[in-house]
Every structure is written in C-alpha cells, then in structure tokens.
Structure 1
Amino acid sequence: MALYFLDYDLRKQRDYQPLYDELARFKAVRMLESSWCFNRVNTSAAGLRDHFKQFIHADDGLLVAEVTDWATYKVLKSPSALATA
C-alpha cells in the first residue's frame, strides 16, 4: 500500500465540495488547508491525478505525489492517522 499526498489550488470558482466528497470516499486525511493524504494500492500518481482532475475546474492546479518519507509540523492531522482511520 502506498501513501499519496494531494495538494490543490482552486483558483476562480473555488467549488470545493466535489473534491472534498471524493477525498472522503478515499478516506483521505487533511494535513493542511489544501493538503491531503491517503493510502492506495495498484495505482500511480499520474493515474490519481487523472482521476481527481474530474473534481476540479480547468483553471485549478493539482499535485499528486507518492511519498516514501515525510515529516510534519503543526499540521491538522498527520499521515500516521491513516493507520487508525
């Protein structure tokens, strides 16, 4: 199982709900205002990027990265929370 970070920049319309709903379906943990993490198997960062693009607008930004090492400071919730989620 791989850990992925997803960061977004919703620019003009700022319609967050479709993205939030899909992140909830993925059981994602919100680390910072626009940063989430979740576990996934049998996928890639590019595949996840393509999946999540349907939940944002064409002018928005999206970053998906597979993470092997991480450290946090003053986050809303740590990626280690996924072990108990």
Structure 2
Amino acid sequence: MTTITLPADLEAWARAEVAAGRAESVEALVAQALQERRAEIEYVRAKLDEGRAALARGEGIPLEEFLREGAERVARLRGAAKAAE
C-alpha cells in the first residue's frame, strides 16, 4: 500500500465529498480520480493517433482554412448569443 499526502485544500474537499455521501472513502475518491484521468489520457492519445493517421492519408486541411472556419463558427455563435439576449 502506498501513502499519498494531499494538499490541505484537496484533502478538505475529499473529506467533504465523503461526508456528503458522494464517495465511499478518500482512498476510493482518489482511486476513481486516477482511473478517470487515465481514461481521459487514453482517449486523447487515441484521438491523436486517429488524427495522425488521417493526415498520413492526406485528409487534413490547411491551417489557414481551419482557423478561418473556426473564426466563422465563433462569429455565428456570438451572433446567436446576442440574438437570444
């Protein structure tokens, strides 16, 4: 078994989660957080591999086009948000 010392603020948060019934124990909460983090990293790595494979197949778009499309998307979203006000 390994002992981990949490910073005071994280320990207080973890104990509050346990007290509120959202976790069985501090140990279980830390284990769950580490498992979730590992899953997130694996997901991102898989997406990076997919992206690299797509680029290798010539499926990428030029950076300028990507940036232009992103700027257009942001402008549309901002316009929709203003219209909803």
Which interval holds the TM-score relative to the shorter structure?
Answer: under 0.3
Q: Which of the pair is proportionally richer in helix?
A: 2
Q: Which structure features the higher share of strand residues?
A: 1
Structure scoring higher RCO (CA < 8 A, sep ≥ 6) equals 1
